[in-house]
Amino acid sequence: MNIVEATLERIKPVSPQLLEQAQGRLDIKTKPLGSLGRLEEFGRRFAAISGTLNPDTAKKVIFTFAGDHGVTDEGVSAFPKEVTPQMAFNILAGGAGVNVLARHAGAEVRLVDVGVDYDFNGVEGLIDRKVARGTRNFAKGPAMTRDEVLAALKVGIDQADQCKAEGVAMAGTGELGIGNTTPSSAIIAAISGIPVRELTHRGTGINDAGLENKIRAIEQGLAVNRPDPKDPLDVLTKVGGLEIAAIAGLVLGCAANGIPVVVDGFISTAGALIASEMHPHVRDYIFAAHASVEIGHRFMLERIGATPILNLDLRLGEGTGAALAMGLIEAGVKVLKEMATFEQAGVTEQL
């Protein structure tokens, strides 16, 4: 049994009893029933996932997985792949969007190199788990081998296991990789059967001609590789990405360890979708951070069964949306833990 199979065996349903008990506590707080809306949902679910009605939220970590993509050879991005390592150094220096928003949320950012086509030479702060120097061009053949996919999944699972060992209360997903909206659109197209044109958007800002070319490359990749929609690992192997695989591994690992996982935008949700297709209970551990501008994101969220927390027209990635959503999830937990009951406050309950 490999680590992926072992992790899948560890995933259990979230306790319906704890969900009910948490809601019971929320219902006796000094407020009309349900009046704090989705904050109550966040608190209830966080408690049930964590296995306690008094969950800790102190330690929060966002994992930004980085990888390059061979399909950029098809001209699908407005930026060259050299930007991937350049942005990695920006994150390590604390200057990227995810760094700013994570600091605001009180979260740590950990950058994991799972597939950047660059030698970082052991730079301080980088978690070096490189599986390969990018994927292959999936418009011409499979993006990865099965062994590469399993190795990248293990990278994410290992981070989740480390979170459990460290007492991390909440994990967030993020990504970095020029061209990675292309495999993300390919993944949801392969799994859903929805036409590529209805799932593909402008990524980093390509023009109309660039968008047509991106659609062509994805359609060509699906035709060449014929991924099996019933086999999420086959889809991931043929048209996915190393960082997407690592995100899938992190989500699986968080579910196995009872850690709430906040999934960022379009690319992160591609990884979460793969994880959800691999095990039916994974979706219960996921908080969807936001609704991305990328048009394929809605279909991913619908398939997972997740309702996004925010809708701010975000499309940066990195884990930026996850950082923002963490604050609202934590607010919901604090309502559960800190808000007075009618009895404690001496307030008459509603009739």
Angle between helices 37-50 and 16-27 in degrees, nearest 10: 140
Question: Each residue of 55-64: pLDDT tens digit?
Answer: 999 999 999 9
Pair of tokens at residue 237: 């192997």
Q: Do strands 127-128 and 261-263 pair parallel, antiparallel, or not at all (unpaired)?
A: unpaired
Pair of tokens at residue 81: 């792949």
The mean pLDDT value for 260-266 works out to: 98
Asked if 76 and 135 count as a contact pair (C-beta separation under 8 A), the reply is: no
In the prediction, which pLDDT does 1 show? Answer: 78
- The fold of the 60-328 domain, in CATH, is Rossmann fold (3.40.50)
Report how far residue 14's alpha carbon sits from residue 36's, in angstroms, rounded to the nearest whole number. Answer: 23
For residue 152, give Cα distances in angstroms to 29, 115, 181, 271, 321: 45, 9, 18, 11, 23
Which residues 6+ apart lie within 8 Å of 88 measured at CB? 66, 111, 113, 116, 118, 120, 126, 176
Q: Tell me the domain boundaries of the chain.
A: 3-54+336-345, 60-328
Question: Each residue of 170-213: pLDDT tens digit?
Answer: 999 999 999 999 999 999 999 999 999 999 999 988 999 999 99
In the prediction, which pLDDT does 350 show? Answer: 75
Gyration radius from the chain CA atoms: 20
On the question of pLDDT at 349 being above 90, the answer is: no
Asked if 228 and 252 count as a contact pair (C-beta separation under 8 A), the reply is: no
Report how far residue 24's alpha carbon sits from residue 283's, in angstroms, rounded to the nearest whole number. Answer: 23
Please report which confidence band the pLDDT of residue 30 belongs to, taking 50, 70 and 90 as the band edges: very high
Q: Specify the DSSP class assigned to residue 350.
A: P
DSSP H helices in 194-241: 208-225, 232-239
* Placement of tokens 């001496």 in the chain: 346
Residue 274: which H helix or E strand, with range? Answer: helix 266-278
Q: Which one of the listed residues 40, 148, 277, 318 is annotated catalytic?
A: 318
Report how far residue 169's alpha carbon sits from residue 125's, in angstroms, rounded to the nearest whole number. Answer: 21
318 is catalytic: yes
Report how far residue 292's alpha carbon sits from residue 269's, in angstroms, rounded to the nearest whole number. Answer: 10
Beta bridge partners of 287: 262
Q: What is the mean pLDDT of the chain?
A: 97
Find, among 180, 173, 175, the residue nearest to 288 by Cα. 173
The mean pLDDT value for 90-109 works out to: 98
Which residues 6+ apart lie within 8 Å of 245 measured at CB? 114, 144, 149, 152, 153, 155, 156, 236, 271, 274
Pair of tokens at residue 310: 């925010």
Report how far residue 81's alpha carbon sits from residue 66's, in angstroms, rounded to the nearest whole number. Answer: 12
- The fold of the 3-54+336-345 domain, in CATH, is 1.10.1610
